[in-house]
Chain A
Amino acid sequence: MKSLSLIVTIAVLTFVLSHFLPWWICGIVSFVACYLWKTEGFIGFTASLLAVFVVWYGKAFFADQNFDTPMSSLLGALLGNVSGGASLFLTGLIGGIAAGLAGWLGGWTRKLSTQKQ
């Protein structure tokens, strides 16, 4: 339940803030959320990855409908002759991994700072 609320929080905040701030806001959100949620081990990584993957993939999927020629297939061709689906997946994955690492570090930072005290 705790993890679910973490995922939802990261996803919602990333979605909202990304409209005004650069792409790396997904990392800041994940870091701060995991810090506050005191995530342990890989939970922060996995939760952040999942949340941001869904947001980036989903947003790209809907954005794709706005183009006459699907942007996903153009990007697929551009990124090395892969399918449109693969370029959407890659979009989600890049956001996800960047966020995952930040989330992992968020929980870990909290843990290390607590140890100090």
Chain B
Amino acid sequence: MLQRIFYGIVLLITIVLYLFLNGNIHFTKDPLPPMGKFLNPFGGAWTSDTRSEKTSQVLNMSGLKDKVEIIYDERHVPHIYAQNMEDALFAQGYIEAQNRLFQMEFLAKAAAGELSSIIGPKTIEIDLEKRRRGMRFAAENAVKGWEKTEDYNKAYRYVDGANAYIQSLQPKDYPIEFKLFDFKPENWTALKSALVFKQMSLTLAGRNDDLENTNLLYHLGSVDFAMLYPEKQNVENPVIPTEKPYATDALNVYRQDSGAAYIAPILKSHFENRNKGIGSNSWGVSGKKTATGKPIFCNDPHLNLGLPSIWFELHIHTPEFNAYGVSFPGFPGIMIGFNEHIAWGETNVGQDVEDLFHIQWADQARSKYILDGKEKPAMFRVEEVKVKGGKSVIDTIKYTDWGPVYHTSDDGKNDLAMRWLCHDIPNTDEYNTFIDAMKCKSYDDYLKATSNYNTPAQNFGFACNNGDIALRVNGKFSAKSEPDGKFVEYGNKSSNNWQAWIPRDQNPQILNPERGFISSANQVSADKTYPYYFTGKFERYRNRSVNDKLEKMSGITPDDMKRMQQDAFSYKASDFIQAIKSVVTSDQVNKNHKALYEALLNWDYHYKAASEMPVVFDLLHKKLAANTWDELLTLKEKMDIRMPEDWRLIELIQKDPTNKYFDLKKTSQIEQAKDIILLSLNEAMDDFTKQKQEGKSMTWGGYKPLHIYHMTRIPAFSRMDIPADGCPDAINATGFSFGPSWRMVISLEEKVKGYAVYPGGQSGNPASQYYNNMIDTWIKGEYYDLNIHAKADEIRSKSNATIILNPQS
């Protein structure tokens, strides 16, 4: 009997062990990988599909019109030789899935708020935020709009190509992450392409300061608010320089009544302050300024640096066009690149396209709200967040005419709905912009290709080998008058909504400017004479560095442009130190810190990885802001507010050193700018000396190294602690895990030449030699030659990995 009981126990243990090793049961809150399945050498982590890197394949595919040849070169960049656009896009879908399947699937799930289904309870909050924000709603609307357009079957060719690859996989071939998180790749869909695009939109255009501004206005009053948070600088280098007055036929923008803005503090919120460090540079110089007499175009978008990289490099050749550049895996076309005639690229436009409206509920249940004096029913969308190893979380999101109710309060008195441009059903074939870009031959083609593009708005830069350079602040914008969209507004009147769109030909834009160059670095789009109200987040320093350099340069070569992209000079640091020098003299500085202070004054404001001065300045800057804005920091503990911008602090030090905000609340005397600076210098330099004595690395590269994380942040698949030059205010805009995600220089000579690099690798497989092979080249500031003219034979002779896709007969 005893033996049978013992047998039963062993049997039970064995069954439980098998279920655990197979991932059917979990013992920890965050589920562990199914270790038996995962380590199985016949189908787990030890096997994956490496065919693309080592072998040549001939495959028959239904859905192709003609034969396509894909040849991977020595950096694993695919060169696609197709006979028509449809087949080229099919091949793009196929190879992106082949190299980046987990990334595509993960991004689509992240956008849709479905991460918890693969990761577990850790990501529930992140998922809920996506649901509240209506990301899936936005993607569904995008597909609804796209489906109505004529050319939509083109986008489906990409989807078919991705699925042709996915369906060719056996479970043992799945990328390692699928095995680690124990899920299967599902078919790619147009909705998933829309989701990854909306994820990009969220990064670039998913932000607002409405709540922060409302709280600030309420607590500081309008005088202090206007003093601390002015929107316009005296010195500005708008993206589009003003050469002639703006259109006089501007729309007469509807002006809201003065009671549009909501006046009450909103204490709690779900809003996160995202996207620090996001930005980009792009510039183009005309032939007047180059050594060859032909334009050079450059672009370096500063995005999250990840593994695999946000970009995938590819070359597409058809009888109609020959294009090279980077795509965003999951989305057809080339986003930043060049062909034999033109080069194109983008930087983000900071214009606010996301506004919050206060909802006045008509009933306790919050099922009806008041709009224009009438009750309107809210639409309910039940969101189920599936959680691996746990119970689903259900959230019911209410949708109003404004959009989803994003922020909810306990008593329903402070519920805010979000009006976000990215939710709108597009009325154009916007997905075609990056497909059409590949075919552009002239400025007119480029205007046509970009005209249909809606959001996230970008400064679309252009240069052509006929000599043209052009820049267009491109996207759909509501025509606003100040201060529309700056504060939370009452959602009980539809007249508070956006009323009209800026006609596309009135978006700021320029062709062949007199100064001989175009440039954009996320600064304000147009100068003060532009007839519409622009509000949002705009960059203040990088653009000055870019324009200063381009103004002075002549006889420019691609090497000059590469060097310029590495430039680590910070105008912010320079402006701060000039301001400090204007109110503090060296002999006022604590004598223990005099040497360090002198060194700081002699610093050239370049954020070099080996230099200690950037760290001294960084500490000083933080102390200075904290000591000056002490009263605001106290307020911030209670509610969402934002801090004044650095340029305003610099200006106050210089022009208003006795401003009341310089006073430290915790002391009895009244401080001025000078006192605050001396105090901050003391604190910062004490801190610096102490940390150095403790043996910490105080060089910029050691103190604030760069981290290139795997999408899931698994350290084993990441590359961390990289000492790198640069900071967010420098042209070389690195910081934490952001930075130039693709550095590109294109010389538009008769035979166009291209150079580029990105910090990652083409393959998403962490065990591939092409996973992170380009990071070191990127850190060194080196570039690869982009092989756009190569004939198929030439690449084939050096390659051992080709794929021939034949149409299935």
A101 within 8 A of B: yes
Inter-subunit contact B769/A23 (CB<8 Å): no
Residue of B with least CB distance to A55 = B41
Does chain B have a CB within 8 A of A74?
yes
CA distance A61 to B771 in the complex (A): 22
Q: Give A56 to B21 CA distance when docked, in angstroms.
A: 15
Q: Is B784 an interface residue (CB 8 A)?
A: no
The answer to whether B39 touches A67 (Cβ under 8 A) is no
Minimum CB–CB distance from A58 to chain B (whole Å) comes to 8
Given contacts A18-B42, A71-B767, A77-B716, contact A94 B18 (CB under 8 A): no
The reply to whether A66 and B10 contact each other, CB–CB distance below 8 Å, is no
Q: How many residues of B contact A (CB 8 A)?
A: 36
Whether the pair B14, A94 counts as a contact (CB closer than 8 A) is no
Cross-chain contact of A95 among B40, B716, B771 (Cβ < 8 A): B40
CB-based contact A91/B767 at 8 Å: no
Q: Are B716 and A68 in contact (CB under 8 A)?
A: no
A71 engages B46 (CB within 8 Å): yes
Asked if B771 contacts A69 (CB within 8 A), the reply is yes
Asked if B10 and A98 make an inter-chain contact with CB atoms under 8 angstroms apart, the answer reads: no
Whether B39 lies near A24 (C-beta < 8 A) is no
Interface size on A, residues (CB 8 A): 34
Which chain B residue lies CB-closest to A71?
Answer: B767
Residue B227 is within 8 A (CB to CB) of chain A in the complex:
no
| B43 part of interface (Cβ distance < 8 Å) | yes
Q: Is the CB of B715 within 8 A of A63?
A: no
- Give the complex CA separation of A91 and B33 in angstroms: 13
Chain B residues within an 8 Å CB radius of A109: 7
The answer to whether A23 touches B37 (Cβ under 8 A) is: yes
Quick one: which of B756-774 are within 8 Å of A by CB?
A: 766-771
Verify A69–B766 contact, CB threshold 8 A: yes
Contacts of A75 in B (CB 8 A): 39, 45, 716
**Cβ–Cβ contact B43 & A23, under 8 A:** yes
Given the complex, which residues of A lie within 8 Å of B716, measured CB to CB?
74-75, 77-78
Q: Which of A23, A60, A90, A109 has the most CB of B within 10 A?
A: A23
Query: What are 18 A-B interface contacts by the 8 Å CB criterion?
Result: A19-B42, A22-B22, A23-B22, A24-B22, A56-B40, A60-B39, A64-B46, A69-B767, A71-B45, A78-B714, A90-B39, A91-B46, A94-B21, A94-B39, A95-B39, A95-B40, A101-B10, A101-B14
**Which B residues have a C-beta under 8 Å from some C-beta of A?**
3-4, 7, 10-11, 13-14, 17-18, 21-22, 35-37, 39-47, 50, 53, 180, 714-717, 766-771
Binding site for B on A (CB under 8 A): 18-19, 22-24, 27, 56, 59-60, 63-64, 66-71, 74-75, 77-78, 90-91, 94-95, 97-98, 101-102, 104-105, 108-109, 112
- Extra 15 A-B pairs, beta carbons < 8 Å, given A22-B22, A68-B770, A97-B17: A19-B42, A23-B36, A23-B40, A24-B21, A24-B22, A56-B39, A56-B40, A59-B41, A59-B46, A63-B41, A66-B50, A71-B767, A94-B36, A105-B10, A112-B4
